[in-house]
Amino acid sequence: MKHFLRMLIQVCLYFYCKFLWRCLKFVMRKLTGRCELQRICYNTKPGASRTMKIETSLRDSKSKLLQTSVSVHPDAIEKTIEDIMELKKINPDINPQLGISLQACLLQIVGYRNLIADVEKLRREPYDSDNPQHEEMLLKLWKFLKPNTPLESRISKQWCEIGFQGDDPKTDFRGMGLLGLYNLQYFAERDAAAAQQVLSDSLHPKCSKFSKAEWEKKRMDKAIGYSFAIVGINITDLAYNLLVSGALKTHFYNIAPEAPTLSHFQQTFCYLMHEFHKFWIEEDPMDIMEFNRVREKFRKRIIKQLQNPDMALCPHFAASEGLINI
């Protein structure tokens, strides 16, 4: 009985708040002469703050046109904006920047949904050793990480030197499919010096860029390393879950002036690898069995950062100057 009453109260509160919110929007429109979309665009700076408010407004609207606008094809966005302006009785000649701002927001919103689909497709595609493209990517990963050490054979214990578990890396990609390989290769190719340094530190943590004084201050006498490739696949899983849960919207809406792409996701992976590496050394775990504890603590720290609407995880990738400010 108590459970039923609790549910009844929650349902009543939901409909009450929803009704109250619609009444408030009606009053605000009468007082300001502007619809909610106009108020958001005129009163909120471009970036995650504006785009997330626009997304919520469209998704929660009673209008079917507005509800479906967040999932239209990118080519249909311009027409969708025209339909929204017409529905809201907004004159584009009097409000020329409004359409531009709404278009920028929709490009980000639709782009984020499409990015999830692209990432999911890679994650679901298994590594196939009979596929020449897959094999080429794997061999390139070795070449980028160990440019001065030839790989003696495709099946080799040498793979353990870059952090795989056995003599054939294909078995390690099962969890994240091709996505793990794509991210590792991107990191090794696009940020080769940093990737090689992180690999070296993961094998010989006491030889990292921390000074001797810093090591002594932090009492990191144990200096436990980790398996670079396996951790890279694990960080890929972290990035994937942040993306799918929507946590990365703050970051992508702040760095991508239009639609976030796979490159943005891979840049984010590179950032997470850098940050996790530093975090691991600072945590100074007793042994590798503490990996899950350290990873979870790191995940919570990233999520907390992403709760800031002005947050951009990779400031050097920021494109905020390209955002349209009306």
Q: For the chain, what is the total number of helices (H) and then of strands (E)?
A: 14, 0
Q: pLDDT value at position 230?
A: 96
Which residue carries 């909120």 as its tokens? 44
Q: How confident is the model over 196-212, as pLDDT tens digits?
A: 999 998 887 544 454 44
Range in 1-15, 222-236, 238-252, 255-269 the model is least confident about: 1-15
Q: pLDDT value at position 93?
A: 83
139: pLDDT strictly greater than 50: yes
Tokens of 128: 């196939």
Locate the domains of the chain by residue range: 1-31, 33-123, 127-305
Q: Which of 22-31, 170-179, 220-229 has the highest mean pLDDT?
A: 170-179
Q: Answer yes or no: are the C-beta atoms of 87 and 81 closer than 8 Å.
A: no
Q: pLDDT value at position 322?
A: 38
Tokens of 59: 């998704």
Q: What number is the average pLDDT over the span 13-41?
A: 59
Confidence of residue 65 (pLDDT cuts 50, 70, 90): very high
Cα-based angle 279, 281, 287 (whole degrees, multiple of 5): 110
Q: pLDDT value at position 14?
A: 54
Confidence of residue 4 (pLDDT cuts 50, 70, 90): low
Q: pLDDT value at position 5?
A: 61
Q: What is the pTM of this model?
A: 0.83
